[in-house]
Amino acid sequence: MKQTVATAALASAMPAARSTNGYDLEEIERKLAKGSGISGVHKADLPTPSLILNLDHFEHNLQHAADHAKKHGLGLRPHAKTHKTPEICKRQIGLGALGVSCATIREAEVMSSHGIQGLLITGELVGPNKIARLIRLTRKAPDTMAVVDNPLHAEMLSEAAQAAKVKLNIMVDIDPTGRRTGIAPGSGAVELGKKVDSLPGLELWGVHGYSGASSHVKGFKERKQHSEKFMTPVIDSFKAMQKAGAPARIMSGASTGTYNIDSGLDGMTELQVGSYAVMDVDYRRIGGKGNDEVYTDFKPALTVLATVMSKNYDDIATIDSGIKSFATDRAFGPEPLLEGVTYSINGDEHGRLHLENAKVKVEFGDKVELIVPHCDPNVNLYDRMYVCRGDQVVEVWKVEARGNV
Ligand SMILES: Cc1ncc(COP(=O)(O)O)c(C=O)c1O
């Protein structure tokens, strides 16, 4: 696996120092429960593999997106599917986000139970179980929004809302390109908006349009062309809905790759970017605005901390982080924060560091950090993330909605 420019630029001069204290999970939990905080706990003291959040990078990312949205007069409803962590939502809302988007009813229930409001559930909630839970959630959090992409679903929601004497807030899900969920842009979408508006128990709020196919198009120019081509018909449908008298107010979409493209599209009102908060190898490869090879608008904030568990050869080292520690849905793996070092999976609990071109020494017992390949499924492997300012662990955030797909 080739190392990218991105990693070389970030590489630390030396592997992390070895642990002196070596806390285990229970000790850290006890410290937190006692309210004594985790002062004095360093990254190198943590059990491995652990998920690490670089607070400086994370804060930069949140601020950058918040500033961008504000500058363009847009709302921000960041997607929580990326991190499933209420503490992150709270910080996003603290910087002005209107609420958060959620992929599933379960994510929305978890976020709501932690006091997060302004939820937009971007996946269709189909079947009695999910509809009943949407109604329960809306009773508790009346500003919750759900999506529909066909008239039958709208009718089912209307019936359930009337029976429960609840008003459901609905967005029409328009499909820019993915052929996954969403109705095609055009007259059918406008008719669906009008139907939602006319059905008792439902209130039309606007349009949800997520062009996932645009998000990772390599090169800014190419990405811009792609997103504009596919988002324009969606936004035109949103405007046509308004013209037809259906009171659509929100036009929500965009991704980390297109936030600075879609914000220039007339009619857009909200951005639902997700990965930007923590980033990953996948996004760093899409290229930046100034023809840069690396996408640096947002900084890589999420790493896995691992330990070199075997070092019997000059050209390789084995770390304690393999298939169970990293998302493996991409053709590439994580990137070690060690200049000249690359990684390959070497088993469920083992990973291999390739040291032929290493610019730093890697020794038995060293702690190393690796940028996660794809943030969403990678976070979902961990119960908690250790939030670090430099080498100091300052907080532990629970990934409360993990596993609850
Ligand atoms: C519906 C929807 N909206 C927004 C996002 C956020 O995209 P990204 O994480 O690329 O910013 C996603 C991510 O998969 C998504 O599925």
- Contacts for 32 with CB less than 8 Å, ≥ 6 apart: 38, 396
Task: Give Cα separations from 251 to 205, 206, 314 (angstroms).
Answer: 9, 6, 56
**Pocket flag, ligand 1, residue 112 (CB < 6 Å):** no
Q: Which two tokens stand for residue 1?
A: 């696996």
* Dihedral angle sign, alpha carbons of residues 154, 159, 163, 167: positive
Q: Where are the domains of the chain?
A: 5-55+295-398, 58-278
The answer, yes or no, to whether residue 5 has pLDDT greater than 60, is no
**Pocket flag, ligand 1, residue 104 (CB < 6 Å):** no
- From ligand 1's centre to the CA of 311, what distance in Å? 40
- From ligand 1's centre to the CA of 65, what distance in Å? 14
- Nearest CA-CA partner of 70 in 98, 90, 99, 91: 98
Residue 162: phi and psi, rounded to 5, are -65, -45
Task: Give Cα separations from 379 to 150, 189, 286 (angstroms).
Answer: 32, 35, 21
CATH topology of domain 5-55+295-398: Lyase, Ornithine Decarboxylase; Chain A, domain 1 (2.40.37)
**Pocket flag, ligand 1, residue 77 (CB < 6 Å):** no
**Pocket flag, ligand 1, residue 255 (CB < 6 Å):** yes
% of the chain residues with pLDDT over 90: 88
The answer, yes or no, to whether residue 35 has pLDDT greater than 90, is no
Higher pLDDT, 66 or 4: 66
Ligand 1 nearest atom to the CA of residue 82, by list position: 9
- From ligand 1's centre to the CA of 29, what distance in Å? 32
Asked if 53 and 386 touch (Cβ cutoff 8 Å), the reply is yes
Q: Give the C-alpha separation, 142 to 149, whole Å.
A: 21
- From ligand 1's centre to the CA of 44, what distance in Å? 33
Ligand 1 nearest atom to the CA of residue 273, by list position: 11
Buried b (16+ CB within 10 A) or exposed e, 192-214: bbbbbbebebbebbbbbbbbebb
Provide the β-strand partners of residue 302: 53
pLDDT for the residue numbered 405: 58
The answer, yes or no, to whether residue 226 has pLDDT greater than 60, is yes
Ligand 1 nearest atom to the CA of residue 215, by list position: 10
Q: Give the C-alpha separation, 336 to 3, whole Å.
A: 9
The answer, yes or no, to whether residue 235 has pLDDT greater than 50, is yes
Angle of helix 187-198 relative to helix 220-243, nearest 10 degrees, comes to 50
pLDDT for the residue numbered 36: 66
Nearest CA to ligand 1 atom 6: 274
The answer, yes or no, to whether residue 341 has pLDDT greater than 90, is yes
Average pLDDT across the chain, whole number: 93
Residue whose tokens read 């949205």? 69
Buried b (16+ CB within 10 A) or exposed e, 108-122: bbbbbeeebebbbbb
Q: Is 179 left (phi over 0), alpha (psi -120 to 50) or beta?
A: left
**Pocket flag, ligand 1, residue 79 (CB < 6 Å):** yes
Query: What tens digit of pLDDT does each residue of 182-218 get?
Result: 999 999 999 999 999 999 999 999 999 999 999 999 9
Ligand 1 nearest atom to the CA of residue 257, by list position: 10
Torsion (CA) 69, 72, 227, 374 in degrees, nearest 10: -20
The alpha carbon of residue 364 and the mean position of all alpha carbons in its chain are separated, in whole angstroms, by 34
The answer, yes or no, to whether residue 138 has pLDDT greater than 60, is yes
**Pocket flag, ligand 1, residue 272 (CB < 6 Å):** yes
pLDDT band at 1 (very low <50, low <70, confident <90, very high): very low
- Nearest CA-CA partner of 155 in 202, 220, 208, 214: 202
The answer, yes or no, to whether residue 43 has pLDDT greater than 90, is yes
**Pocket flag, ligand 1, residue 259 (CB < 6 Å):** no
**Pocket flag, ligand 1, residue 161 (CB < 6 Å):** no
CA atoms within 13 A on the CB side of 321: 30
Query: What tens digit of pLDDT does each residue of 343-394 get?
Result: 999 999 999 999 999 999 999 999 999 999 999 999 999 999 999 999 999 9
**Pocket flag, ligand 1, residue 237 (CB < 6 Å):** no
Q: Which two tokens stand for residue 70?
A: 């504000």
Q: Is 352 left (phi over 0), alpha (psi -120 to 50) or beta?
A: beta
Query: What tens digit of pLDDT does each residue of 255-294 get?
Result: 999 999 999 999 999 999 999 999 999 999 999 998 789 9
Q: Give the C-alpha separation, 187 to 223, whole Å.
A: 27
Nearest CA to ligand 1 atom 2: 210
Query: What tens digit of pLDDT does each residue of 152-175 get?
Result: 999 999 999 999 999 999 999 999
**Model's pTM, two decimal places?**
0.94
User: Checking DSSP bridges between strand 316-319 and strand 250-253, what pairing results, if any?
Assistant: unpaired
Q: Which two tokens stand for residue 267?
A: 């009619």
- From ligand 1's centre to the CA of 274, what distance in Å? 5
- Kindly indicate whether the domain formed by 58-278 is annotated with CATH number 3.20.20.10: yes
Q: Give the C-alpha separation, 244 to 368, whole Å.
A: 58
